Chains A and B, each alone.
Chain A
Amino acid sequence: MPLELDQVSVRFDDTLAVDDVSLEVMHGEVLCILGPSGSGKSTLLRAIAGLEVSTGSIRWDGDDLRGVPVHKRGFALMFQDGQLFPHLDVAGNVAYAKRGNVGELLELVGLAGFEKRRVTDLSGGEQQRVALARALAASPRLLLLDEPLSALDRELRERLAIDLRAILRQTATTAVMVTHDQSEAQVVGDRVGVMDHGRMLQLGTMTQLRAKPASDRVARFLGLA
């Protein structure tokens, strides 16, 4: 099993941001973690990336990642607001990880010919596409997406969610995406995990969750109650 989390917790001073979460992700699978803000879903993602200190075990292909620094994990992380490097142009950003073909990647994300554009001149949607190309250029073993579409307006978000799904499928990328939008989770994710107050409430396909929500809270969050 590529990614395995076993009883992972993250503590900030006196609050338990992530509380005893276990999960598995298969090759080429996209797992969406769904939860309200403050549910600990982003912290869980950062722990997988190696940006937060956690307890429990995080394994990749059976190897424990404890002590492996962020840049040696071979994962890539995409933030809500892209975090593009403003001093580099589009091509400079995409080529930051020094792998992959910039032109092909830009074509993949629908921005063919954007190489020399300044990232500060791009629209929000275009910036997120560049951020996605930059993350994919690293040929990550695992792509971590932290609310990648949340900063965009509704219509664009729906269109980009479909594109994102297609791109991840086409590149056979294994990914974990965090979102608070259940329709987004349904479009992009193979499976969905619902989190609240640091705990993983339920994990499964959207169809399974809809058919059999484990609790009232899950049902309410899926808009069923």
Chain B
Amino acid sequence: MAGGVVGYRAALAAAAIVPLVFVGIFFAWPVATMVGLGFADGLGGFAEVFARPRTGRIIALTVGQAGLATVICVALGLPIAHVLYRLRFRGQRLLRALIIVPFVLPTVVVGIAFRTLFRGTPLDSSFAAILLALVFFNVAVVVRTVGSSWESLDPRQEEAAAALGASPARVFATVTMRRLLPSVVSAASVVFLFCSTAFGVVLVLGGTQFGTIETEIWLLTTQFLDLRAASVLSVTQLVVVVVLLAVAARSRGRSLAQKRAARPRPIRRTDAPAVILTILTATALMAPLATLLLRSLEVDGALSLHNYAALATTGTRNALAVPVWVALGNSLATAATATVTAVTVGLLASILLSRTPRSPWARRALEVIDGTLMLPLGVSAVTVGFGFLIALNTPPFDLRSSSVLVPIAQALVALPLVVRATLPALRSVDSRMRESAAVLGASPLRVIATIDLALVRRPILAATGFAFAVALGEFGATTFLSRADRPTLPVVIYRLIGVPGGDNFGMALAASVVLAAVTVAVIALVERLHDSAVGAF
């Protein structure tokens, strides 16, 4: 018996080491190196960077943009979550898919879609356009997170309140909202996080006029070579991210366990405003994508496949080092490597985190690991890419010119999403089932293989598809790390809009459509298996 316990602990320790080493080398170390750079001359660097008027403006813009976008996302997301998760009606699955799709689209594609949509209008490259694009991405986060919590609320509390004479508005305010609050706070902090660290979409839409801390870090590093200022901003961002993630994690922890889930009910007349809002939102979300598709098929006002044919070339004035199709091949290969890495590391981490050890010390350690693994979600991809460049540049890890950096960075970005998609499923496995298997003579490894992994096969497949989509569209870190002769598709698309003239913009549209189509196909495949690839936060 004692041998069994020791073996089990050894297996868990082994499961713990891989993710910790991975995150340690490829996340903590680069980020720490960068933090060190910011503190190179004590707090002097901070004082100097914060004294710049531009820094203040960028921080105000970042917070303003993210704050407004978060408010809009929550205001839209609540009624939509109600419609998609508490009611049932024909066409609901389609509506859900339409609302969720934007979240998985590559940021560069969305940036280009919004530019195409607003081209020639005052909204082109405006603050409003950036705001709309941020809302476009993140409504899904609120809908998914609040919706899955709403779905599992025991309806009898509301019924009890209504039977005591409370009007629907009072029931919502005093009972429903109180119970939804943790999930709303969690979703809002994650949305704020995503918005304030948004990179690709802001870079494409904002030009030089608008930006976030994230685009500023990129600008300082690549254009002005002001590494110290870049790292001061990265450190600032890191602090904000840690605080927000702590808020989100606390709210998740406070969600009350529910005994009985609601039975979705048919639509009533009073649901009409919310249903109409949902349909309008879904339609509005499709508008940029439809415009993108139509414009990609248009040359000089006529329907044409010319832009797609040009994907076999390197663009007007040789804008690219390789034809677009080759870049797509690079993207697929890189994303595949990144996915295998992220899923392996993420699963090991999830298996570890799903245990509830008896010792309070071990439980505390697991909480810290859980939090650490979420960090890459919020720490900007640009910071990660930048950190790689400065940290993995000296022995023993002189990987700077190596092509493994890109998939590793992409895996790091996808890792928190894999954990969030698989961990809830693993946690819901009744531990008595594992104990029964062990009592029947199964070794710890066999328990993991035949109980845990077997029961959560679908979430794992879904997480795999989602990780692949994320890696495919990753832009922030990749743009720092990809070698000129091996660019990925998002990098190529950004390059195409940077070299104006000739076929280049049209090619960027066509390439965006191709990238979006591949991403949506991957997600559609896993959504068929499981409808919650986008984990709830």
Q: Which residues of A contact B (CB under 8 A)?
A: 46, 49, 51, 69-79, 81, 83, 85-87, 96-97, 134-135, 137-138, 144
Give the shortest distance, in Å, between B253 (CB) and chain A (any CB): 15
CB atoms of A81 and B164 under 8 A apart: no
**Residues A71 and B175 in contact in the complex (CB < 8 Å), given A49-B159, A77-B159, A79-B156:** no
Q: Which residues of A contact B159 (CB under 8 A)?
A: 46, 49, 51, 70, 77, 79, 83
Chain B residues numbered 157-206 whose CB sits less than 8 Å from any CB in chain A: 157, 159-168, 171, 174-175, 178-179
Asked whether B256 is an interface residue with its Cβ less than 8 Å from the other chain, the reply is yes
Contact between chains at A71 and B157 (CB < 8 Å): no
Shortest distance in angstroms between A68's beta carbon and chain B's nearest beta carbon? 12
Residue from A69, A72, A79, A87 within 8 A of B160 (CB atoms): A79
- In the assembled complex, the CB of A106 is this many whole angstroms from the nearest CB of chain B, namely 16
User: Which residues of chain A have C-beta atoms less than 8 A from B52's C-beta?
Assistant: none
Q: Give the docked Cα–Cα distance between A51 and B157 (Å).
A: 12
Give Cα A55 to B174, complex, Å.
31
Does B259 belong to the interface (CB within 8 Å)? yes
**Could you say which of A71, A73, A78 contacts B167, with CB atoms under 8 Å apart?**
A71
Q: Are B157 and A85 in contact (CB under 8 A)?
A: yes
Q: Which residues of A contact B163 (CB under 8 A)?
A: 49, 51, 70-71, 73, 75-77, 135, 144
Return the chain A residue nearest B155 by Cβ. Answer: A51
Q: In the complex the two chains form, what is the Cα distance from A75 to B162 in whole Å? A: 9
Contact A85 B166 (CB under 8 A): no
Q: Indicate if the CB atoms of A83 and B157 lie closer than 8 Å.
A: yes
Contact of A71 among B154, B162, B179, B259 (CB under 8 A): B162
Instruction: Among B154, B161, B171, find the residue whose CB has the most chain A CB atoms closer than 10 A.
Output: B161
Whether B161 pairs with A96 at a CB distance below 8 angstroms is yes
- Complex: chain B residue closest to A131, CB-CB: B160
- Shortest distance from the beta carbon of B16 to any chain A beta carbon, whole Å: 34
Decide if the interface of chain B is mainly helix, strand, loop or mixed.
helix
- Name 22 interchain pairs, CB-CB below 8 A, sorted by A: A49-B163, A51-B159, A69-B162, A70-B159, A70-B162, A71-B162, A71-B167, A76-B163, A76-B164, A77-B163, A77-B164, A78-B160, A79-B156, A81-B259, A83-B159, A85-B174, A87-B178, A87-B179, A96-B161, A96-B174, A135-B164, A138-B164
B161 → A minimal CB distance (Å): 7
How far, in Å, is B111 (CB) from chain A's closest CB? 42
* Residue on B nearest A75 in the bound complex, by CB: B163
A70 partner residues in chain B, CB cutoff 8 A: 159, 162-163
In angstroms, Cα B166 to Cα A70, docked, is 9
In the complex, A128 Cα to B514 Cα: how many Å?
61
Chain B residue nearest in CB terms to A82: B160
Known contacts A49-B163, A85-B175: A71-B156 contact under CB 8 Å: no
When distances are taken between beta carbons in the complex, the residues of chain B under 8 Å from A69 are: 162, 168
Partner of A97, one of B157, B165, B175, B179: B165
Question: How distant is the Cα of A81 from the Cα of B260 in the complex, in angstroms?
Answer: 12
Contacts of B164 in A (CB 8 A): 71, 76-77, 96-97, 134-135, 137-138
Known A77-B160, A79-B160, A85-B157; contact A138-B165, beta-carbon cutoff 8 A:
yes
Say how far A9's CB is from chain B's closest CB, in angstroms. Answer: 18
Having A81-B259, A135-B163, one finds 20 other A-B pairs with CB under 8 Å, namely: A49-B159, A49-B163, A51-B162, A51-B163, A71-B163, A71-B167, A71-B171, A72-B165, A77-B159, A77-B164, A83-B157, A85-B157, A85-B178, A86-B256, A87-B178, A96-B166, A96-B174, A97-B165, A137-B164, A138-B165
Q: How far is the CA of A96 from the CA of B166 in the complex (A)?
A: 8
For A77, list chain B residues within 8 Å (CB): 159-160, 163-164
State how many angstroms separate the Cβ of A83 from the closest Cβ of chain B.
4
Complex contact A74–B160 (CB within 8 A):
no
A74–B157 CB distance below 8 A: no
Contacts A83-B156, A83-B160, A86-B256 given; indicate if A74 touches B165 (C-beta within 8 A): yes
